[in-house]
Amino acid sequence: MRNRPGFLIALGIIIVIGLIFLGAKYGPGILDNNQPSPPVAGVDPSPTDPGDKLPPASPVDPEPEEPNPPAQEPEKPEAPDPGSLSNKKMGWSFTRNSEHQVPGIPAAARVITNYGGMYVGDTSRKVVYLTFDNGYENGYTAPILDALASNQVVASFFVTESYINKNPELVKRMVAEGHAVCNHTSTHPSLPDVSDARIESEIRKTEEAFRKVTGTQMAPYLRPPAGEFSERTVALTQQLGYSSVFWSIAFKDWDVNDQPGADYSYNHVMTNVHPGAIILLHAVSSSNAGALDRILKDLKAEGYEFSPLP
């Protein structure tokens, strides 16, 4: 067939024209298999379809963990209103023994420990706490301080406001030599007999007088005048920042006109001493001043240590 090439050329032209016609009608997608499928109306194309090349996801910081909240301290019970407590007056008393054991006290008196009060210290070892009451000066505080210094013993002095104002040099010496100066109120009233406001005034006036003389804060211990107290007064004392301090060794040494003598003072302390004893001596006593050096030396010889109030 001599006309076969011409026939093939004509057929090719017809096929091309047909394909051009179909492309114009149905769009270019039919010719380009690499084009994505046209989107369906109303539906967003999914970014996770196979073949899509999305940029790598940005790293996301993990949510910070909540730190463990600090342990909450148990709420302290609200301090009782002293005015709601019993104001029955009690006088401090105890029952001595000859076995060098802690003396007994009335059951009602144990209320003092409910409000931070004390009458003994550490009873597990041979330690004693030496305390002096200074309501006024009778000429014996300097010799008492001399005996304490020579034996290297520290003590606690309970002083009134008037004592501080009248004897500033002695008070300064107490501080300089390492003794604790504590509160014995301003005018020495029986605390159950006066109001809450009066008790606070008695305490604050004394500590302010001490601050003016020494420039320091008074030690946070109060000795109730005459050892008279009630639940109300020991609770109020604690709320005012003080511990009520009583004693487990004492005798009638405050009457300057009825002094039993140095031997009596010495024998009384040595007979009744016990581990943890809080010893009360009055600084107006000539008997105590005369006996103190022997007391200090012989208590040490028996293995006792002297400590500040706990």
Domain ranges of the chain: 107-306
Nearest one of 173, 171, 163 to 135, comparing CA atoms: 163
**Which residue is catalytic, options 184, 253, 282, 293?**
282
Q: What angle do CA 111, 252, 281 make, to 5 degrees?
A: 75
Q: What is the pLDDT of residue 72?
A: 56
Give the pLDDT confidence score for residue 14 in this predicted structure. 60
For residues 183 and 222, the answer to whether their CB atoms sit within 8 Å is: yes
- Computed over every residue of the chain, the mean pLDDT equals 84
Residue 218 is encoded by which pair of tokens?
A: 């008074």
**pLDDT exceeds cutoff 70 at 236:** yes
Confidence bin at 26 (pLDDT 50/70/90) = very low
* Count helices and strands in the chain by DSSP H and E runs: 9, 9
More confident residue, 263 or 6: 263
Do residues 156 and 131 make contact, with C-beta atoms less than 8 angstroms apart? yes
Three-state DSSP at 294 gives helix
pLDDT over 50 at 31, yes or no: no
- Closest to 281 measured CA to CA, from 126, 106, 125, 129: 129
Rounded average pLDDT over 212-219: 98
Give the pLDDT mean for 279-299. 98
Q: Taking a C-beta distance cutoff of 8 angstroms, is the pair 132, 170 a contact?
A: no
DSSP character at residue 65 = P
CB burial class (10 A; 0-12, 13-18, 19+) of residue 153?
buried
How do residues 32-43 score in pLDDT, each as one tens digit?
A: 333 333 333 333
Which whole-number Å values give the CA distances from 89 to 86, 154, 168, 251, in the listed order?
9, 32, 33, 21
Structure token pair of residue 141: 């505080």
Averaged over 89-97, what is the pLDDT? 95
Q: Which helix (H) or strand (E) holds 130?
A: strand 127-134
Confidence (pLDDT) at 62: 41
Region 269-286 average pLDDT: 98
Contacts of 259 (CB under 8 A, 6+ apart): 253, 285, 286, 287
| Pairwise CA distance, residues 106 & 116, whole Å | 17
Task: Determine the Cα angle at 26 with ends 22 and 28, to 5°.
Answer: 90
> Which member of 49, 133, 268, 293 is catalytic?
133
For residue 81, the model assigns a pLDDT of: 83
**Cα gap 20→270, rounded to integer Å:** 131
Q: What is the pTM of this model?
A: 0.75
Tokens of 85: 């407590």
Judged against a pLDDT cut of 60, whether residue 262 lies above it is answered with yes
| Residue 234 pLDDT greater than 90, yes or no | yes
Phi/psi for 244 (5° steps) reads: -80, 125
Task: Say which residue, 211 or 18, is predicted with more confidence.
Answer: 211
CATH class of 107-306: alpha beta
% of the chain surpassing 70 pLDDT = 75
Phi, psi of 262 (to 5 degrees): -65, -40
Check residue 73 and give its pLDDT. 54
- How does pLDDT run across 115-136, given as a tens digit for each residue? 999 999 999 999 999 999 999 9
Residue 298 annotated in active site: no
Tell me the C-alpha distance between 225 and 197, whole Å: 17
* 4-11 contacts, C-beta under 8 A, 24 or more apart: none
Comparing 67 with 97, which gets the higher pLDDT? 97
Q: Is 179 a catalytic residue?
A: no
Write down the pLDDT at residue 77: 52
Helices (H), 177-224: 196-214
Confidence of residue 74 (pLDDT cuts 50, 70, 90): low
DSSP, residue by residue, 4-62: HHHHHHHHHHHHHHHHHHHHHHH-GGGT-TTSPPPPPTT-PPPTTSTT--PPPPPP-PP
Q: In this model, does residue 25 exceed pLDDT 90?
A: no
